[in-house]
Amino acid sequence: KHNIPQGEMIISHQVQVEAKNGHLGQFKLLILDPDSYKITHLIFQRGHLWERKREMVSASILDRLEGETLYLKINKSEL
């Protein structure tokens, strides 16, 4: 069990990333501003075993985290 401050959360590598209209991939890492420690970008992995591709999106399109799924405010075609 983790000692997580109230209002904070842990995002694991098991988290899936979803657009408004379907699955995008699997969460890989967050990029933080070195001064404020605020999230600036999210990196996730798309594709299958032989055709994996990492995508980076702005934190401004993050909508919410529910369980093991991170939802974005965009459709797949907007990437």
Residue whose tokens read 């939802």: 71
Kindly report the pTM of this predicted structure. Answer: 0.82
Of the candidates 23, 28, 24, the one whose C-alpha atom is nearest the C-alpha of residue 41 is 28
Where do the domains of the chain lie, and which CATH numbers do they carry? Answer: 16-74 (2.30.30.240)
Task: Work out the average pLDDT over 17-21.
Answer: 97
Distance, CA of 36 to CA of 12 (rounded, Å): 22
Is residue 4 exposed (0-12), middle (13-18) or buried (19+ Cβ within 10 Å)? exposed
Check if the beta carbon of residue 72 is closer than 8 Å to that of residue 15. no
What is the pLDDT, as a whole number, of residue 76? Answer: 93
Check if the beta carbon of residue 42 is closer than 8 Å to that of residue 56. yes
What is the pLDDT, as a whole number, of residue 2? Answer: 60
Give pLDDT tens digits for 67-76. Answer: 899 999 999 9
